[in-house]
Structure 1
Amino acid sequence: MQAALTVKGLTKKFGTKVAVDDVSFTVPTGKILGLLGPNGAGKSTIINMVTGLLTKTSGEVTLFGTAMGPHDMGNRQRFGVVPQELAMFDDLSAEENVRYFGGLYGLRGAELRQSVAQALATVELTKHRKQRPKTFSGGMQRRLNIAMAIVHHPDLLFMDEPTVGIDPQSRNYILTAIEEMRARGITVIYTSHYMEEVERLADKIVIVDHGKVIASGTEEELVNLVMDQRRVTIVIDQPERVVVSELQQIAGVQQVTLNGVNLHIAVAIASNPLNQILMALIQRDIVVASVDQPRIDLETVFLNLTGRTLRD
C-alpha cells in the first residue's frame, strides 16, 4: 500500500537553534498517526513544514508518492489542516464559514452546497448552521474548525491539538468523527496532550523530544521497547498445591511469589508464558479464579522515554 505521507530528514533551524532535527516517519494510507511530545518538542513546527506553512531548512516531504514543492497547490488540495489556534470569521454564520473555505478549494454550486452540509453533519453542527461562531461554546468552535478543514474532502487531515480546553461531550463528538473519517479511508495526523485520545485513535505513534524522533511504532511496540517485564496476579483456590519451583522453570517466568491465594508472577514480555503457567496450575487441579495483568499505558511509556510529562 502506498504511504499517504513520507517525511525524510526534515530539519528546521532558526538561526543557530535547531527546532526540528532530521525527523523521518511514514504514515500509511487510511491510518491515524499520533504525534506526541512535550511542549516545545517541535510537533507544531513539523506540521507547519509538512503543510507548507513554514519553510523547511532541509528534508523531503512526499504526499501520496509525489514530492511536495514550495508552491505545490495540486498536492495541497489533497489535505486539510485543523490548526491549534481557532481560525474563523465571527461575523459569518457557521454555514457561511464552511462555504467560504470550500470556495477557496474550488468547490462551486451544488457540489459546494452538498459538501458544506456533509461537513457540518460530520461534526454534528447542522442544527446550528445559521448561528455565528461567536455565540458558540469552545467545543462547538473546535468542531466548526474541523468542518472547515474537511469541506473539500481531503485525503489527509492534520489535526494539531483539536480538543484543547473543551467539554467532554464535544471531545467525544470530535473523536467519534475522526474514527468515522478513518473508516472512510482518510489519513489523519493527530497531535494531542491527552494520552487517552492517542491510545483510542492512533494506529501508529511517533514520539518527538527536543526536535528529534526518539521512538515510533504501535502502542504495543512502544511498550515492548521500554518494558521488558510484566507482572501477573493469579487468584487460586488451593494455594497448598502450588509448586513454586515448577512455575519458575517455565521459560519467560522471572519471579514467583505466593501470598495466600494470590500468586504473583513476573514474566518477560517477549516470551509471554501465561498459557504455560495456567496449564501447569490446571494439571495440579488448581482452580483459577481470576487473572489480572495490570495494563502498561502510553503515559508510562512516554515518561520512560522522555523523563517528563506532556505538560512540562
Structure 2
Amino acid sequence: MFETAELSFTYPSGRRGLGKVSLKGAPGDRVVVMGPNGSGKSTLLRLVSTELPSRPGSLELFGEAWGSSGSDSRKRRDLRKRIGIVQDTPVHVEDLTGMENGLLFAELYGLPRAEALAAFAPLFTALGLDDALHVPTREYSYGMKKKLLIAEALVHDPDLIIMDEPVLGLDPPSRAALLRTLEERTGKGVCTLTATNEPALAQELATTVVLLHEGEVVALGSPAELLAEVGNTTLIEVHVAGAPDPTKIDPALAKGSAQLPADIVSIRQIPGRIIAESRSGSDVLPQLVGAVLAEGLRIERVEIREPDLTDVFTLFTGQALGGESP
C-alpha cells in the first residue's frame, strides 16, 4: 500500500519536518504514529497522502513510485481516488447541508450520485448523522463535522485510509462504530495510517506503532513489543511542585538520604513528575512518598497506573508524549 525509504521533508522556513523515516504499510496493516508537538506526525501523513512533495528519500504508493516534484497532477488525482483522508480539523462548505457536502466530496472521487447515496447510507447511520443530514453544516458541532468528514473519507471505499486524530470529538457510540468499520475494512485488505497521541486508541487499533521524536523514528513495533520495553510493572507518578531544578530530581532521589524500596526497579523524571516502576504495585508508595518529601519537594498528587505507550516514548526520549504534530 505505502512504503517510505529515508523519507525527509524540510519546510520553506528551514525547519525540518521529517528526517529519514523508513516505514511500510501492507494490505491489512494498521499503522499508528505517535509523537509530541513538532515530532512530524502530520508531516508524515501529508507526505503519504501526496499533499506534500517527498524530498529527499522515496515514497511508493500502491507499488508505484511517487516523484519528489509532485508535478504529475493526473497521477496524483488517480492516487488520491484510492486514499481516504480524515484530517484533524474538518473543512466543509458551511452553507451546504451535510448531505450536500457529502455528495460534493463523492463527486470529487468520481462517484455517481446513486452510488454515493447507497455508500453513505450505512456510514451516516453508524455514525449517528441521519437526523442532521439536511441541516447546514454551519450549525454542526465539531463532533458532527468530524463524523461527516469520516463518512466522506470512506464513501469511495479507499484502499488506504489516512487519519489524523480520528476519534477526537466523537461520542462513545460513534467512536465504537468507527473502530468497527476500520476493523471490517482492514480485514478485507485496506491499510490504515493513523496519527494519535491517545494510547488506548493506539493499543486497540494498531498492528504497528511508530514513535516519532524530532522527525525521526525512535521506536517501532507492535503494541505488545513496545510495551514489553517497560516490563510487567506498576507505574507510580508523583507530581511535584517547587523543585528549583527539575532535572536534578532523579539524582536527588537516587543519592539522597532517604532509602528507596528495593522493589522500585527504576525511577526517572520529566519536568514536574517523578515516575517510579514498581514490582510490588502500590506497596512501595509510603516509602516513595517519604523519599520525595525528604528531598524538600512538595507533592501535588500521586497517580498509580499500568504502563502504556506514552511510557515507552518517555523511556526512549526522556520526554512526555502529547500535543499535535505539525
SS at match of 1:147: helix
SS at match of 2:50: coil
Residue 301 of structure 1 aligns with an amino acid whose one-letter code is V
Residue 194 of structure 1 aligns with an amino acid whose one-letter code is E
**Displacement of 1:19:** 1.8
Root-mean-square deviation (CA, aligned residues, Å) is 2.5
SS at match of 2:232: strand
Question: Which has the higher mean CA deviation after the structures are superposed, 103-112 or 32-41?
Answer: 103-112
After superposition, what is the alpha-carbon deviation per residue over 1:252-302, rounded to whole angstroms, capped at 9, x for unaligned?
xxx99xxxxxxx989xxxxxxxxxxxxxxxxxxxxxxxxxxx954222212
Specify the alignment match of 2:317 in structure 1.
Answer: 306
1:147-162 correspondence runs (5 A)? 147-162=151-166
SS at match of 1:55: coil
Specify the alignment match of 2:295 in structure 1.
Answer: none
Q: Distance in 1 between matches of 2:233 and 2:309?
A: 17
Q: Distance in 2 between matches of 1:165 and 1:112?
A: 25
Unaligned regions of 5+ residues in structure 2, if any? Answer: 235-261, 264-277, 281-304
**Displacement of 1:208:** 0.6
Specify the alignment match of 2:4 in structure 1.
Answer: 7
**Displacement of 1:18:** 2.0
Specify the alignment match of 2:63 in structure 1.
Answer: 65
The size of the alignment, in residue pairs, is 251
Q: Distance in 2 between matches of 1:178 and 1:137?
A: 23
Unaligned regions of 5+ residues in structure 1, if any? Answer: 233-254, 257-263, 267-293
Question: Which has the higher mean CA deviation after the structures are superposed, 209-218 or 9-18?
Answer: 9-18
TM-score (normalised: structure 2): 0.70
Q: Distance in 2 between matches of 1:164 and 1:109?
A: 29
Higher gyration radius (CA): 1
Residue 135 of structure 1 aligns with an amino acid whose one-letter code is E
Answer whether contact 1:12 1:57 (CA < 8 A) is retained.
yes
**Displacement of 1:92:** 1.2
TM-score (normalised: structure 1): 0.73
Answer whether contact 1:123 1:177 (CA < 8 A) is retained.
no
Question: Which has the higher mean CA deviation after the structures are superposed, 176-185 or 23-32?
Answer: 176-185
Q: Distance in 1 between matches of 2:34 and 2:143?
A: 22
**Displacement of 1:162:** 1.9
Answer whether contact 1:27 1:33 (CA < 8 A) is retained.
yes
Answer whether contact 2:126 2:177 (CA < 8 A) is retained.
no
Specify the alignment match of 1:230 in structure 2.
Answer: 232
Specify the alignment match of 1:248 in structure 2.
Answer: none
Instruction: Choose the corresponding residue for 1:127, options 131, 140, 152.
Output: 131
SS at match of 1:200: helix
**Displacement of 1:130:** 1.7
Specify the alignment match of 2:42 in structure 1.
Answer: 44
